[in-house]
A and B are shown apart, each in its own frame.
Chain A
Amino acid sequence: MIQFLENVRAGIVEPHALIRAESTKRSYNLQLCKHRDIESVHTAGVNALDVDTMEGKYLLSGSADGSLHIHDLQNFTGSPHFTSKLICKVDRNLRTAHRYSVECVQWYPFDSGLFITSGMDKQLKIWDTNCMKPADTFSFEGRVFQHHMSRIATRNCLVAVASSVNHILLVDLKSGSCTHELRGHSSSTLTCRWSPREEYLLATGSCDNKVLLWDVRAAKCCLKSLDQHNGKGRSVSEATNTAHDGYVNGLCFTHDGLFLLSYGTDHRLRLWSTYSGHNEMVNYGKIPNDTKKCMQFDITVSSDPKLVYVPSEGNIFMYEIQSGVKVNTLLGHYNCVNSCIYHPFYHELYSAGNDRNVLIWTADHCQGAVYEEHLKSQNQKKEPFERRTLLVRRNVMADTWSSDEEG
């Protein structure tokens, strides 16, 4: 890394290359973070996570009991050992809180003063972060599984809502009303995602095994229905081809918006080209996935072979997107993982599951050494008592084979 920095300074390599190399290295080496924690305050399984896109400072989480929590991720203590504190929360007993499980949370992409949550109480709430009160509430006919707001849309403020009713609703925050109904699915919709490239491009997945692409300017019918067999399957018509052989419960665009990943209860992950709408036919193998609700998974931002982190039951699998090679399995949760979110600045992963934990996954390999050094420097300042704790810490990690005679 030092070498890289030197090269960048000398102008031998582009700064981009440094970023790419470093983020690739980090995203490949994720493991459970030993030094940093998210303060455990959840009283039920955590269903949804989001990190604000402006500063990357706040982590928003929604629980199955309807409560919302916001943690501060930034560490200004000077010590690698850090626990992210809870800064505010919406208790489930509050009148304004969601009555049932919160299924999806999202920060307003351009300001952390606003966030949107939705849940099983068939409501979508727009919250004012500063006073922690809902600024507006939309009620729907069906339970809301996911909503999404475009990160690049500058001219409109549309929130797409996927609910147990079989059409996608578009809510305009400016007018405070539901502007569109996208009809095309024949069963309840589980997931919806705006393209990070095209302002009006929306992808939706549903229980009818289909993934539809929409141009919301022409809401009369969908742009394309993705076909897993690329037209070579048995069904020829657009109306009957499917993206998965099970419910589609997760969608994610790559950061550049060129590819779309879909995740289904047929235990498959599929890669689609958004340009052509073709299945890229990447085989990721079988990924156990049985939940009948939205699974939130994420893709690395600037690494070169892009990686996807897919929650599957209690584990998180890491795949290279283009090749489908499984890089690693992140083991840490003791129950089903519901949500993974990749921090775009820190190159870290946050994951939440039904075991009420929010875990931080980082590339700790260099931080470990830093931490040791830090502790050492601390020890020199402090009393020998501290040193003993260090010794104990080391002992914990050491082998303790008994000597030969004892066996």
Chain B
Amino acid sequence: MPTPLDSNLSRQVGKYVETLTHTGQKVLDKDVLKKLKNICKISDGYVEHAYHLLIYQLEKAHAEIRFSAFQICNELFRRSHFFRELLVSNMQHVMELTCETSSDRLLPPPRSVALSLKRMALQCIQEWNKEYGDGYKKLQLGYNFLKHCKKVDFNALQIENSAEQVRQQEQERRQNLINQEKLKKIMIEINEMQPEITNTLTALENCICLLFPTPEDFFIQDGNETETKSKISDEKPSPSNCSGTKQTEDQNKNEEQDLDQKDRLSELIESARKVEEKKNIVKNDSDVPSISRSKDDDDMEEDNSEFGSETSDSEEDIDFREYGILNSKYSIEVNVNTDSTSIKETADNDAIFENAKDMYTLINNRYLPTVKKWIQVITKASGSSDQLKKILDLKNSLEKATKKYTELKCHTVPNDANGSSDSDFEEVEEKDGYEKMAQEDVPLSGLSAGTVFGLKKFNTKTENQSSWNIWSEDNSEMDPTSARSTLSVLKSVNSAMPKSPKKENMDHTAASCSKHENTPTRGCSENEKVNEEEPVPSTSKDNSVYISKESQRAKLLAAAPKVPFDIDLYHWEDDKIQAPTMVAVRAEGSRFWYTSLEELEEVPVPDGIPSLRTRVIEFTGKFEPVRWACRAPLPSGKLCPRRDRYKCPFHGPIVSRDETGKCTKPDDAQRLAKEEEKKTKECPDWQDPQLLEDIKHATGVDLRMPEKKKRKGSKKKKQSKQSKCPGLTDISAKQNTAYTRLSKKIFKRGAMKRVARSMDAADHKRFRDKYGDQFHYMYNTV
């Protein structure tokens, strides 16, 4: 260089480079960079100085520093020829430092920045080569070296170790082979299993069809009948309706129709007396959509209920029965109740059920998993698409079948319940008409039994022409013949009764939601009234007698907690419990080995009786996570992150604090300050400063405890070191992982020695045990 460098400027260059590289920012500070460039512009001497400084920075083991340094290099490279020459002459070193060209000198942490550095460096080198390549031979060489030897794909900008690449390719190839092999195997398997699966599928489908005919089947079969039925229903609504459904039902045994009759109006009793026929809310199966439609109005939507209620009021006194039809304004609501539709399991279709169940389990447990596995393998091995499609179709059909079956299943009602209700029904026939109705209703509403009974009941009612009101179906609980009531009777006669009025009320209100009486109490009273008015039914009177008593009881029962059955309930009324005994284990050891029976004493188990009397109740309260942290300021400057509910073990009771850790309530702050003061003042009496002073005076020994400032000091030192370049990621902090801490402990010299000694001792002992008695090894075993 022709002129000596100004030391001041050189120092400035150093300063700028230092500040630029230690910000940790991805983008260089423009002003500082401008200043640096201005100085470098003066002479090549400064450029060289900057170059050396930059190389020094590039060599630092911190990716962020290197990143910034390389950015400066890029800036200078594009400006100065001299810098280019310098950098290009040292290109391999720079590449090593920025592009990770040698495998044994990896880029320093943090890894993410290192990767972006690599990317940027490669990009820069590519650009440099494009712009300056023909002026600088070595740059070209370097570019070619990266491209050909290091296999850098400058489009993807990634250095891939060639060995790694080869390895990956090899692995891929092998994986491919394996996949192909698998695919072949699976193809064979598919070919074997497909007919089996399709057979199973068709079998299950047929089972389902048998149990639950599709609407098409239904209509094809019963096309004539439904027509006639609908014709009939025009003239004679309810009986024909029933008969029609009954017919269909008889033919399709498993076809279920649930005809519910519900009262809508408050005056339904009167109307029942007059017309004897109210609105029928026919719960119909979905497969029989329009067996019973409204006679005149075709709209039987939900709003009909209100509509109907109004009309019924006005046309109460007209006796439509004379014309064989109900009032034209009446509508019949058909609730297509898919939930309660059910198929009953009988001896006839038992086999089909069984069969279907087997198929279902087979499909669910075997075929579906295998098909899923096939799909996985085929997609992995990139098998032919039509094959995959075939398998997917198969899977879909399997899933459809299982779904169908599960739907069917939830419609199905176990056999015995139906049977019992059947028998109930038979018995009921001989009883009083009114009661009979009520009984019949029980299984219908409560257990959602087959339509058969609903229909029959309806028939009987129409035959008898008794003034039975429809809501009485809800009296089910009161009926002694119902399953529920019988159950309750088993416990106590009274307990069965109370439920019914309540339920009745509820149902009543539900039914009359659009009507004038809404309150349950009123419903009750009305019921009573109605019942009193009614001449025929005697049981309903009994009802009313119960009601006042029972309603109270019902309330109590509603409030009473329900407890599952347990050992304490088992012994509830057992006043004298035998304490459980156990056989005492004697000193000889075995409890089976005894000389005579007399010796076998049974000892009562301690706490035996109480254990039978107690009930273990697990806490079922809800866990609420603590939503606040302690946030007391720590010496590190952070806030205490502990989340305690009431009290932090370090900072006492939780006090509300703001973001900076200060107390939000002044009195809390005061209290804390006081406590703090107390704590600082407080010292053990042997540390009493006065006393220590005296001792020191007398003996010359300072017994004061050293203050615990050490930790704080080191922290501060660390911080100050960090604060020198706060932008940089702290690499050393990362070193302090659980692994390093543990390894520091484990691989401590002392610990290693100790372990080695004990292992040696163990070895020695084993050796001695084995060979110690042999003459040969006599001297070794000492």
Chain A residues near B (Cβ < 8 Å): 32-34, 40, 314, 331-335, 355-357, 359, 393, 396-402, 407
- Any A CB within 8 A of the CB of B430: no
Q: Are B144 and A331 in contact (CB under 8 A)?
A: no
Flag the segment in B88-96, B345-353, B379-387, B708-716 that touches A.
B88-96
Q: Are B134 and A393 in contact (CB under 8 A)?
A: yes
Q: Which residue of A lies closest to B42 (CB)?
A: A401
Q: Are A397 and B79 in contact (CB under 8 A)?
A: no
Number of A-B contacts (CB under 8 A): 63
A373 to chain B, nearest CB (A): 18
CA distance A359 to B141 in the complex (A): 9
Q: Are A335 and B38 in contact (CB under 8 A)?
A: no
Contacts of A399 in B (CB 8 A): 79-82
Q: Which residue of B lies closest to A389 (CB)?
A: B134
B31 to chain A, nearest CB (A): 9
Q: Which residue of B lies closest to A392 (CB)?
A: B134
Q: Which residue of A lies closest to B132 (CB)?
A: A396
Q: Which residue of B lies closest to A406 (CB)?
A: B34
Give 1 or 0 for each of B262-296: 1 = CB within 8 Å of chain A CB: 00000000000000000000000000000000000
- Any A CB within 8 A of the CB of B78: yes
Contacts of A396 in B (CB 8 A): 131-132, 134-136
Contacts of A356 in B (CB 8 A): 145, 148-149
Q: Are B131 and A334 in contact (CB under 8 A)?
A: no
Give 11 pairs: A residue, B residue, CB < 8 Å, sorted on A: A34-B137, A331-B138, A334-B91, A334-B142, A335-B92, A355-B145, A359-B141, A397-B135, A400-B80, A401-B79, A401-B80
- Any A CB within 8 A of the CB of B372: no
Q: Are A32 and B79 in contact (CB under 8 A)?
A: no
A357 to chain B, nearest CB (A): 6
Q: Are B137 and A33 in contact (CB under 8 A)?
A: yes
CA distance A75 to B72 in the complex (A): 41
Complex partner residue of B89 from A33, A331, A402, CB under 8 angstroms: A331
Interface of A is mostly: loop
Contacts of B136 in A (CB 8 A): 396
Q: Are A334 and B79 in contact (CB under 8 A)?
A: no
Q: Are B145 and A334 in contact (CB under 8 A)?
A: yes
CA distance A355 to B134 in the complex (A): 20
Q: Which residue of A lies closest to B38 (CB)?
A: A407
CA distance A331 to B138 in the complex (A): 9
Chain B residues near A (Cβ < 8 Å): 34-35, 37-38, 41, 78-82, 89-92, 95, 101, 131-132, 134-138, 141-142, 144-145, 148-149
CA distance A192 to B600 in the complex (A): 101
Contacts of A332 in B (CB 8 A): 137-138, 141
CA distance A158 to B532 in the complex (A): 140
Q: Are B145 and A393 in contact (CB under 8 A)?
A: no
Contacts of B101 in A (CB 8 A): 334
Q: Which residue of A lies closest to B146 (CB)?
A: A334
A238 to chain B, nearest CB (A): 41
CA distance A50 to B80 in the complex (A): 39
Of A314, A333, A334, A400, the most chain B CB neighbours within 10 A belong to A334
CA distance A405 to B136 in the complex (A): 30
Q: Are A333 and B92 in contact (CB under 8 A)?
A: yes
A369 to chain B, nearest CB (A): 16
B166 to chain A, nearest CB (A): 14
A334 touching B81 in the complex, CB below 8 Å, given contacts A32-B138, A401-B37 = no
B486 to chain A, nearest CB (A): 96
CA distance A399 to B41 in the complex (A): 9
Contacts of B132 in A (CB 8 A): 396
A317 to chain B, nearest CB (A): 14
A334 touching B92 in the complex, CB below 8 Å, given contacts A396-B131, A397-B81 = yes
Q: Are B149 and A32 in contact (CB under 8 A)?
A: no
Q: Which residue of B lies closest to A357 (CB)?
A: B141
Q: Are A402 and B79 in contact (CB under 8 A)?
A: yes
Complex partner residue of B149 from A335, A397, A400, CB under 8 angstroms: A335
Contacts of B35 in A (CB 8 A): 407
Contacts of B80 in A (CB 8 A): 399-401
CA distance A335 to B148 in the complex (A): 13
Q: Which residue of A lies closest to B80 (CB)?
A: A399
Complex partner residue of A400 from B79, B95, B137, B141, CB under 8 angstroms: B79
CA distance A314 to B142 in the complex (A): 12
Q: Are B81 and A398 in contact (CB under 8 A)?
A: yes
A331 touching B90 in the complex, CB below 8 Å, given contacts A355-B145, A407-B38 = yes
Contacts of A397 in B (CB 8 A): 81, 135
Question: With A335-B92, A399-B79, A400-B80 given, can you name 14 additional A-B contacts, CB distance below 8 Å?
Answer: A331-B138, A334-B92, A334-B101, A334-B149, A335-B145, A355-B145, A356-B148, A356-B149, A359-B141, A396-B131, A396-B136, A398-B81, A399-B81, A400-B78
CA distance A42 to B136 in the complex (A): 22
A334 touching B134 in the complex, CB below 8 Å, given contacts A401-B41, A407-B38 = no
Contacts of A333 in B (CB 8 A): 92
Contacts of B81 in A (CB 8 A): 397-399
Q: Are B95 and A334 in contact (CB under 8 A)?
A: yes
CA distance A33 to B134 in the complex (A): 12
Q: Which residue of B lies closest to A33 (CB)?
A: B137
Q: Are A334 and B141 in contact (CB under 8 A)?
A: yes
Contacts of A334 in B (CB 8 A): 91-92, 95, 101, 141-142, 145, 149
Contacts of A355 in B (CB 8 A): 141, 145, 149
Q: Are A357 and B145 in contact (CB under 8 A)?
A: yes
Q: Are A407 and B37 in contact (CB under 8 A)?
A: yes
